[in-house]
Amino acid sequence: MEKDLSNYRKSYEKKELLESTISDNPMQLFQTWFHEVDTHYDEGENNAMTISTMGLDGYPKSRVVLLKKFTHEGFIFYTNYESEKGKAITNNPNVCLSFFWYQAERQVIIKGKAERISETMSDGYFESRPRGSQLGASVSHQSEIVENREVLEEKLKQLEAKYEGKEIPRPSYWGGFIVKPVEIEFWQGRANRLHDRIRFKLDDDYNWQMDRLSP
């Protein structure tokens, strides 16, 4: 089996990223980019991001999760703390987040440290979720082997019956992580592969240092 993809090629020409026109605070710039993408482009799920962790088996692993909030402190997503990624983060909190906004020809790559958010905050978000998602989180022991789909469907039915007319409690193994950034790179596709790359790095005094990187 073989497929040659060498002719897949796209020129990026929509935007530019210049030091003179951007904030010197990367969280501010992230907010600007997110707003622009949300307002002017339809990326499907603009808040979908890839998170890479260093696994207990020594391999990095990446998968998509949904960004649910960002503040000046960092980026928050929700998951199962006992999933493969949950265990990986407990063992090594250094993670990498990345966004690829195809329509805007933009990429953002964030290195940072993940830590659990407060139980109160996880409770608040869990309560705001639709009932189906709450039950799903309770049914699924994410990343564990399951015999077949029927086992999950059956468990869902049982929980539906158990909690009929009642509030569904947040499982203790489910909650949020905040990724506090140490480095954020903004990538804007440009013509002739001379893309713009601006990287912000936290220095020892917790100030952001801005540098342009060669594409």
Ligand X SMILES: Cc1cc2nc3c(=O)[nH]c(=O)nc-3n(C[C@H](O)[C@H](O)[C@H](O)COP(=O)(O)O)c2cc1C
Site residues, ligand X (CB under 6 A): 45, 48, 61, 63-66, 77-80, 83-85, 142-143
Give the dihedral of Cα atoms 14, 19, 24, 28; nearest 10 deg: -10
193 classed as catalytic: yes
Residue 188, token pair as written in the block: 């804007």
| 64, 48 Cβ separation under 8 angstroms | yes
Catalytic hit among 190, 193, 197, 212: 193
Residue 1, token pair as written in the block: 């089996």
User: Considering beta carbons, is residue 54 or 210 the nearer one to ligand X?
Assistant: 54
- Rounded-to-integer distance, Cα 54 and Cα 87, Å: 10
CB of 93 to ligand X, least distance (A): 15
Helix, strand or coil for residue 83?
coil
CB of 84 to ligand X, least distance (A): 4
CB of 87 to ligand X, least distance (A): 8
User: Considering beta carbons, is residue 59 or 206 the nearer one to ligand X?
Assistant: 59
Query: How many residues make up the chain in this entry?
Result: 215
User: Considering beta carbons, is residue 52 or 188 the nearer one to ligand X?
Assistant: 52
Residue 74, token pair as written in the block: 């960092």
Q: Which residues are annotated as catalytic?
A: 193
